[in-house]
Amino acid sequence: MTFDLDPCSAGEGKDCVPAINRYTVEDNGLNKDWFGLVFCNPPYGSQTSFWLNKMSKHKNGIALVFARSGTKWWQKLAPTTTLICFMSGRVKFINGQTNKIEAAAGADSVLMAWGDVSANALRHSHLGMCMKLDV
């Protein structure tokens, strides 16, 4: 799957996200218009809710975040998704410049999908347990 936009990119050649267009920290993707199919791995921490709120309004893409079901942002935004994939095992990060695995995430992760294209991709990804929330 190729995405139209990665609004949280480390930059061309510095990550492994298959996206045609990228916004970096210098572009401030949170303040730019999003278009097409989006892959969003937002900065973790206090900014997560802002990025996921924008994704929930965009309604077309996949976000990779920690599985923080007890947080306010999760409780507010998870019900807006089309599908959620609870990933099996911890995400391993690849250095975009060396293409070598450097570290595993410090917590479990989820892929949150908005829209049918994204949801279908996750259903067929075999990356973990997928579910649609009934709220």
Q: What tens digit of pLDDT does each residue of 64-107 get?
A: 999 999 999 999 999 999 999 999 988 887 776 787 888 788 88
21-34 pLDDT, tens digit per residue, is 999 999 999 999 99
- Structural domain span for residue 84: 3-131
pLDDT at 58 over 90: yes
| Distance of alpha carbon 5 from alpha carbon 23, whole angstroms | 8
Average pLDDT over the chain, rounded to whole? 92
- For residue 7, how far is the Cα from the chain centroid? 10
Q: Is 41:64 a contact under the CB 8 Å cutoff?
A: yes
Q: Number of folded domains in the chain? A: 1
Specify the pLDDT at position 14.
80
Specify the pLDDT at position 11.
87
Tokens 């609870």 belong to residue: 86
